[in-house]
Amino acid sequence: MTSLKKLPTLAAIAAIAATAGAQAQSSKADLESVQRAVHVCASCHGENGNSTKPLIPSLAGQMREYTIRQLKDFRSQSRSETDIQAYMWGISALLSDEQIEGFADYYAAQKPAPGKSTNPKLEAIGKVIYEKGLADKGVLPCKQCHGDNAEGASGFPRPAGQKADYVYKQLQAFRTPLRPHGVVMKNEIAAMTPQQLKAVAAYVQSR
């Protein structure tokens, strides 16, 4: 897990947010203001939004609507995984709606890194679940919401290329009150075993 001592200070975020706020009046997607701020985000989420850390998501190519929703959930403190409260709550509290939309536009336009295969056998199990679901458990195919290639669609996120550790952790979080939104996900994963969740996580990482 990333040490908080290595993360940018909230004072630095505040200064960047103030600059971005002044410039965002002309355009929500003002590249100059967004690029000033994403240098701070890069310390965790990687250059151009491609994370190299197992438990921190990549933002490159993520669906705009999804990124906006997550940042607003952090800002309202309704998304409350214990390992991100101290940092994401603080950062998001400094952001206006316009700045949040600017971030979402920026990252949606970035090129995602290629997926990485690490466990072909587990990925093969995950592919079946992703494409066909689990009829005996009433689990629908993941592709119905997340796209044939896990590319995401509208408000449904892009899981393609996300680290399997992160995806598995989030799937588990949907079973708790820590992620209050995502009713569809809560229903779909309720009957799935930990091994099936890990299989889906491994598969989407490989995409």
Residues annotated within a binding site: 41, 44-45, 88, 142, 145-146, 185
The DSSP string of 191-205 is T--HHHHHHHHHHHH
Angstrom distance (rounded) from CA 32 to CA 23: 8
CA distance between the termini of the chain: 24
Angstrom distance (rounded) from CA 11 to CA 9: 5
Angstrom distance (rounded) from CA 170 to CA 182: 11
Angstrom distance (rounded) from CA 84 to CA 107: 20
The annotated binding site for heme c is made up of: 41, 44-45, 88, 142, 145-146, 185
Angstrom distance (rounded) from CA 151 to CA 145: 10
Nearest to 64 by CA among 153, 124, 189: 153
Q: Which amino acid is at 204?
A: V
